[in-house]
Amino acid sequence: MKVGARLRELAERVGLMRRSSARTRLMKMLGSQTASVAERTIGVGEEQVKVWESGYLPAPAQTVELPGDEQLRALDEKAAGVNGFLLAFTGRDPGPQWTLEDLDAAFTAWLTAENRKYYSKQTVIAITGAAFGTYLVKHLGMRWLWLTDGDGSAWAVRDANDTVTSFPHHTVAKRIDDSESGFFLSVFRYLRSEVRASPNKSLERTRER
């Protein structure tokens, strides 16, 4: 099935992948369906993002699995570890009312710390990815899914209209690789705008952030 137009594979503040891999993946998915892929900037101020875009795109083959109770409990347990992470790198534990500003501050401190204590890269991805995903579930009405396509399998969250999809763990992993911080709040704001707009979209599409 062909879908219309805007595929945002990469956003400098909101995207998942590096620019080169974003274009490569888009071209692979498009195959011979289109002659060109263009880059442009959308948004203003801090919300500006650079995106790869094409006229139309065949929907990628994808399988979707709903997590069971045990898997959801495991995600919740990982997410609960965010309070220890906040305490270790901001010096305070705000409890269950932690904010994305708190998470951004702790992640920045961890990323630049000489002593990361026992918080390895994989531990931070697991904890903050689960915490951010849980935050999206709570505040945007999204739900956890296990998605598999040609690139592999991953945890994702998706809105009720099945039009906006985010990969929280990949969001964190990409920022670590790029030594980037201060992104949790901006990603949330972007996804919130997409979720709010999604009922008005006539064509189905997937956002990867």
Averaged pLDDT in 10-residue chunks for the chain of 209 residues: 34 36 44 40 46 44 91 97 97 95 98 94 97 98 93 92 94 96 96 87 47
Q: Distance (Å, rounded) from C-alpha 149 to C-alpha 153?
A: 7
Q: What is the pLDDT of residue 62?
A: 81
Q: Distance (Å, rounded) from C-alpha 209 to C-alpha 205?
A: 13
Buried b (16+ CB within 10 A) or exposed e, 83-95: bebbebbbeeeee
Q: What is the pLDDT of residue 200?
A: 53
Q: What is the pLDDT of residue 3?
A: 33
Does the domain at 60-198 match CATH 1.20.120? Answer given as yes
Q: What is the pLDDT of residue 149?
A: 85
Domain boundaries, the chain: 1-59, 60-198
Tokens 């390895």 — which residue? 120
Tokens 């992640």 — which residue? 107
